Amino acid sequence: MPEQDKPIVTVDVVLLTLREESLHVALARREHEPHAGAWTLPGGWVHTDEDDDALAAAVRILKAKAGLESPYLEQLKTFASRHRDGRGWSVSIAHYALAPFDRAISESIEWRAVDAIRTLPFDHLEILHTAVERVRSKTGYSSLPVHLMPATFTLSELQRVYEQVLGTQLDKRTFRRRIEELDLVEPAAGARNEGAAHRPAQHYRVKRRFGRELALSDRTLG
Amino acid sequence: MPEQDKPIVTVDVVLLTLREESLHVALARREHEPHAGAWTLPGGWVHTDEDDDALAAAVRILKAKAGLESPYLEQLKTFASRHRDGRGWSVSIAHYALAPFDRAISESIEWRAVDAIRTLPFDHLEILHTAVERVRSKTGYSSLPVHLMPATFTLSELQRVYEQVLGTQLDKRTFRRRIEELDLVEPAAGARNEGAAHRPAQHYRVKRRFGRELALSDRTLG
């Protein structure tokens, strides 16, 4: 393959969180041309001397640009064409990541409400929309949103997060039955506030085995 | 990005069909080193002067190597690491395609039963397994297998194809109810053999709008 025919290869990451009841995405300020100074999805070239694979590049970028270690991280889709970057034929192996808001605080990124973003450089708006669609679609039948939760939470809080991601209300009984079928959570010891006047809600945590993989239901969670 | 740090970028295609009641994959003989003469997934470098995007590269490869035009074709996943190709850091933007057996006959490819393949060069066995898993998982709740069907077919034939892809038997009544919910097929005029002694089965064809996109059910098809 002649060197001049090799495309540019980058990894971009759509890092999503829930904040003020709506999905927010992390944007980073670009240091170099093109679009120097603009806010874009955090990303960068693959470092062939350093990154073992594309996932390792995404982990490196998340740590360097968002100060974030081991969030839920998955490959999204690859955007590869001659039109997406003025410098020539280029490949973005796009990933998406989910993290609770308090775990993803960094001075070098800015959080923007997904629904308020009208434009982004390159094809980053298309990448962002693809990620949000993927997360919403998986949310309907999987454990994906647990990666947005704090360490412990009530079932009502869990349902509220599913509803915020989906943008719709869910039936409480159906939701609880599906969560039970997914075998997703376990009671968190000590989190129950025993002495209160009203019987307080039980607190739960995500079962350890869901730290990395998804539980899938064959029905929607509504 | 220094030229020597740019990864190799290829597109590989997992072309699947049903033959003798089981999933078969198309393999092509490699012309160049490494692995010259070996059977691998059809693929090749992105042609930055010719291909508009990765999908266009996959279309070009399918046409050149399998003589196949406009099958169902979708991006699968990108395999990108320093270990997958002895020539250095390399990227395969893998795609998968489905076609009825009679539409995909070419002298330059060989069909192998997926379950009988034990080894393939590079990481092509992993790419193949990822594609088969994706097709089986989508088959459970979508119209995907219609792309393996001939122009017209009976509902029993359609169910049999779903069963062959999934490797399990399906309940006839549930299957037909789901197919109806998906609003997938319409009666094919003239295909019904009116004069026969036993009332013959109605023939159907896939509704035109499913030529390119999938219908999704929120329940499994079983």
User: What percentage of chain A has pLDDT greater than the value 90?
Assistant: 64
**Given an 8 Å threshold on Cβ–Cβ distance, is B3 in contact with A4?**
yes
pLDDT for A51 equals 97
Q: Which residue has the higher pLDDT, A56 or B211?
A: A56
User: What percentage of chain B has pLDDT greater than the value 90?
Assistant: 64
pLDDT for B3 equals 58
Q: Flag whether A133 is in a domain.
A: no
Q: Flag whether A137 is in a domain.
A: no
A 151-210 residues with CB below 8 A of B? none
Distance in Å, alpha carbon of A153 to nearest chain B alpha carbon: 28
A51 contacts in chain B (CB < 8 Å): 82
Would you call B46 an interface residue with chain A, using a CB distance cutoff of 8 Å? yes
pLDDT for B82 equals 96
Two structure tokens written together for A203: 């607190």
| Number of separate domains in chain B | 2
Q: Flag whether A70 is in a domain.
A: yes
Q: Which residue has the tokens 């290869």?
A: A9
Instruction: Assess whether pLDDT exceeds 90 at residue A200.
Output: no
Dist CA A70 CA A73 (whole Å): 8
Q: Which of A50-59, A153-162, A209-218, B152-161 has the lowest mean pLDDT?
A: A209-218
**Given an 8 Å threshold on Cβ–Cβ distance, is B53 in contact with A77?**
no
Summary mean pLDDT of chain B = 89
Query: What's the complex ipTM?
Result: 0.89
Instruction: Assess whether pLDDT exceeds 90 at residue B103.
Output: no
Two structure tokens written together for B90: 């390399």
The last residue of a domain, from among B109, B139, B169: B139
Instruction: Assess whether pLDDT exceeds 60 at residue A195.
Output: no
| A112-169 pLDDT, tens digit each | 999 999 999 999 999 999 999 999 988 887 889 999 998 899 999 999 999 999 989 9
Instruction: Assess whether pLDDT exceeds 70 at residue A217.
Output: no
Instruction: Assess whether pLDDT exceeds 70 at residue B98.
Output: yes
Q: Flag whether A65 is in a domain.
A: yes
Q: Flag whether A14 is in a domain.
A: yes
Instruction: Assess whether pLDDT exceeds 90 at residue B184.
Output: no
Say which of B8, B47, B53 has its CB closest to residue A81. B53
Instruction: Assess whether pLDDT exceeds 70 at residue B217.
Output: no
The last residue of a domain, from among A123, A156, A189: A123
Instruction: Find how far residue B161's CA is from the centre of its chain.
Output: 13
| B152-174 pLDDT, tens digit each | 999 999 999 999 999 899 999 99
Range of the domain at A175: 144-210
| B34-81 pLDDT, tens digit each | 999 999 999 999 999 999 999 999 999 999 999 888 789 999 999 999
Predicted confidence band of residue A222 (pLDDT cuts 50, 70, 90): low
Summary mean pLDDT of chain A = 89
Give the CATH number for residue B174.
1.10.10.10
Predicted confidence band of residue A103 (pLDDT cuts 50, 70, 90): confident
**B169 shares a domain with B111:** no
Predicted confidence band of residue B2 (pLDDT cuts 50, 70, 90): low
Say which of A45, A54, A93 has its CB closest to residue B1. A45
Would you call A80 an interface residue with chain B, using a CB distance cutoff of 8 Å? yes
**B77 shares a domain with B33:** yes
